Chains A and B, each alone.
Chain A
């Protein structure tokens, strides 16, 4: 197990370097210069442009810039944002908890609904419930996030008034960030009103961000369960007279979970992509929105640092998923 984890970890290093190179080159291929983009209609005097480019190290050959970037990164320095002049790492640290809070809730929402829906659809194959779940999950999967978000806001916030429109908490609550996770900070503060407000602000973005993973998980659970339910050992278990619940929950589900867990792991990447749009619609102060602004401003340090950190997190999650396989199915050996 340990050897497997170490082997997987050693693969992480070249992937990590690959990400740095890819991001570094790709963002420089986007036309536009960060200093010129900031200049707007005024333009910028060529002498001042040269001075500022030198200030940010943009006048160096790309390879030298990459080398400097790697060496600074090795010292834990991801540079400063060209637009805000704040260290990238501190901006990331401020914004990331909001993305994590939203993503964790979205994935919990997706798993809690998707898994049972998939199981029931498989068990009651070709029933109305099955067709309903599959139809809805296809619709959910195809729903553009922007449109879906606005639709929910119009219905639940504006028409019915059940949920707040956007943001993380109502303006009257003043919670000093401790962990950055507002639900936890509100509880630490002992302010239950703030906790309720934070929770109610989380509902719609959680649904919007969780919809695609929910659809994928439901469909994957259904097909994995159908495959397993046709296996000989399930027939044997049934023939032995085991209760139906036990056959489904223990014998079938546990074996069907492997592809489902893989899919859940892969959804982490999908969540970060979805977070970019969801955060913009719901004014959610996370890293997705920050990266979009970084692209618009050609803010190289933000894009390099942000993508790298998110890439690292996705890699770690995938590593954890690999490790989880063993916990679910002991037949998977890690020694080779």
Chain B
């Protein structure tokens, strides 16, 4: 008897040891802590990364791309007028049952989708103000104005009606803010008087469930065996929060982490020489630019804008400031985005021609202007002040005296959007992978009004007609043609001097298999494996 107990104990211990030894763990050296576990109010990529393993959306971006693919909705139909979307939801999708205060009793259904949208949309929803009333992205993507109704047809069908056709709508729903939370959990927590629990001790339908979060230290996830897409290849996912880039690199070198974001540009050459590390790279969905205030003299004259564009040595800026982390931009959208028009020719660097053009515009001796530079480093611009100095020197050669100006970041953006500048540096990181998010949001007449995102205040009818029309067409090939034409007009009208697209560099340990760079700069570890 004793012997059999002993044998059982030995076997059990052996099993535990074996399972522990065979558990595949991937460590991601993330750069910071998430704001919380509710993507609806998150504003940073760091927070979206922290929530990515837990939640799904009804549609998703394909892994490593910007195409929209089915998520919690298996399929959908769009009405011919482009205003009604009917989504058929997936059946048998399980919720994580890991919350300390709640155990789900039912699968995911239409109620959860409606709850997740209404929580951000309707101010009378009891969850509207829970955690925060600031549903930034829901507002930024124009949802309050766009949505007319969201109705439950049956448990697995929902119908969304829009006030007007909006081709990027599907892509908007694939963004992190549209994560689906459990209505059953929300109701239970509301009843218990602790509604904020659903954002602190989250459950989702995603490939990993949250095991532990220690602020500024670590986030631990485990693969969810009942995930509707099949269990993840790795068993444990750990985010080791490491804010300093040099330290992240040291940890990667020592094998203390497998994937690191945002390396120091100066370290790249050394990193590339490490035999255990691969550096993945891809131009990000971003653009850094210098906008001309086209409603102010002398920048209301296209010849002046062209002259300035030809007077600045773009290559010198990229070599000196971006190093290996940027590529020259000629279009307002990045090359990785569908509809990118590679036939567009960039304005050449030609100070003599620029001077002549300036003389034709009535400024043979140049003029005085301002040149605004951001006070902070941004993903698309590592050092705006240094770039401004290089531009200032180039412009001096054609007689243009540019005075560099800067303000505190919030103030800077507000003043630019109010159009107080003459020339101002700014940039953009794509939200939903749709060209509309650049061409209409940043250059359309709608956003050229005061406080709008079109800081060039560029409102040119032939361009605007194209980008507005592209919003109403559902066929992507047809939209791509419209956007390609819009890019040609953009270059002719030169409301911006396009500087660069920052390149996303991701050093990963060679034992990591099938990690795909997200054009959005996000980190998704479902489908990723590690070699033993």
The answer to whether A86 and B36 touch across the interface, beta carbons within 8 angstroms, is yes
**B132, B212, B216, B410: the one within 8 Å of A39 (CB):** B410
User: Hey, what's the 0/1 contact readout for B338-354 against A, CB within 8 Å counting as 1?
Assistant: 00000000000000000
Residues of A within 8 A of B240 (CB): 167, 171, 283
Task: Give the CA-CA distance A83 to B244 in the complex, in Å.
Answer: 21
Contacting A at CB under 8 A, from B417-433, are 417, 426-429
Is B25 an interface residue when CB atoms closer than 8 A count as contact? yes
Instruction: Kindly specify which of A12-20, A44-52, A132-140 makes contact with the partner chain.
Output: A44-52
Count A-side interface residues using an 8 Å CB cutoff: 52
Is B139 an interface residue when CB atoms closer than 8 A count as contact? yes
The answer to whether A39 and B136 touch across the interface, beta carbons within 8 angstroms, is yes
The answer to whether B411 and A157 touch across the interface, beta carbons within 8 angstroms, is no
The answer to whether A48 and B247 touch across the interface, beta carbons within 8 angstroms, is no
Residues of A within 8 A of B251 (CB): 165-166
The answer to whether A37 and B247 touch across the interface, beta carbons within 8 angstroms, is no
Task: Give the CA-CA distance A40 to B45 in the complex, in Å.
Answer: 12
Q: What is the chain A residue whose CB lies nearest that of B41? A: A85
**B243, B254, B409: the one within 8 Å of A165 (CB):** B254
Residues of A within 8 A of B429 (CB): 41
**Nearest CB of A to B40, in Å:** 12
**Nearest CB of B to A7, in Å:** 39
Task: Give the CA-CA distance A98 to B216 in the complex, in Å.
Answer: 11
Residues of B within 8 A of A282 (CB): 247
Is A153 an interface residue when CB atoms closer than 8 A count as contact? yes
Residues of A within 8 A of B25 (CB): 171-172
Task: Give the CA-CA distance A166 to B244 in the complex, in Å.
Answer: 10
Residues of B within 8 A of A37 (CB): 409-410
Task: Give the CA-CA distance A200 to B510 in the complex, in Å.
Answer: 27
Contacting A at CB under 8 A, from B130-147, are 131-134, 136, 139-140
Residues of B within 8 A of A281 (CB): 244, 247
Instruction: Kindly specify which of A28-36, A214-222, A236-244 makes contact with the partner chain.
Output: A28-36
Is B408 an interface residue when CB atoms closer than 8 A count as contact? yes
Residues of B within 8 A of A166 (CB): 242, 244, 247, 250-251, 256
**Nearest CB of B to A147, in Å:** 11
**B32, B196, B212, B253: the one within 8 Å of A174 (CB):** B212
Is A164 an interface residue when CB atoms closer than 8 A count as contact? yes
The answer to whether B136 and A42 touch across the interface, beta carbons within 8 angstroms, is yes
**Nearest CB of A to B114, in Å:** 23
Residues of A within 8 A of B133 (CB): 51-52, 55
Q: What is the chain B residue whose CB lies nearest that of A298? A: B410
Task: Give the CA-CA distance A326 to B372 in the complex, in Å.
Answer: 61
Is B19 an interface residue when CB atoms closer than 8 A count as contact? no
Is A158 an interface residue when CB atoms closer than 8 A count as contact? yes
The answer to whether B220 and A283 touch across the interface, beta carbons within 8 angstroms, is no
The answer to whether A289 and B217 touch across the interface, beta carbons within 8 angstroms, is no
User: Hey, what's the 0/1 contact readout for B378-401 against A, CB within 8 Å counting as 1?
Assistant: 100000000000000000000000
The answer to whether A285 and B216 touch across the interface, beta carbons within 8 angstroms, is yes
The answer to whether A280 and B428 touch across the interface, beta carbons within 8 angstroms, is no
Task: Give the CA-CA distance A280 to B242 in the complex, in Å.
Answer: 8
Task: Give the CA-CA distance A11 to B139 in the complex, in Å.
Answer: 50
**A41, A42, A168, A293: the one within 8 Å of B217 (CB):** A168
Is B66 an interface residue when CB atoms closer than 8 A count as contact? no
Is A154 an interface residue when CB atoms closer than 8 A count as contact? yes
Q: Which residues of B contact A (CB under 8 A)?
A: 25, 27, 32, 35-36, 41, 43, 129, 131-134, 136, 139-140, 196, 212, 214-218, 220, 238, 240-244, 246-247, 250-251, 253-254, 256, 378, 407-411, 413-414, 417, 426-429, 451, 453
Q: Which 5 A/B pairs are nearest by Cβ-Cβ distance?
A: A285-B216, A36-B410, A31-B408, A285-B217, A283-B242
> Given known contacts A158-B250, A165-B254, A289-B243, what 6 new A-B pairs fall within 8 Å (CB)?
A41-B453, A85-B196, A174-B212, A283-B217, A283-B244, A284-B216
Q: Which residues of A contact B (CB under 8 A)?
A: 31-33, 35-43, 45-46, 48, 51-52, 55, 83-86, 91, 94-95, 98, 150, 153-154, 157-158, 161, 164-168, 171-172, 174, 176-177, 280-286, 289-290, 293
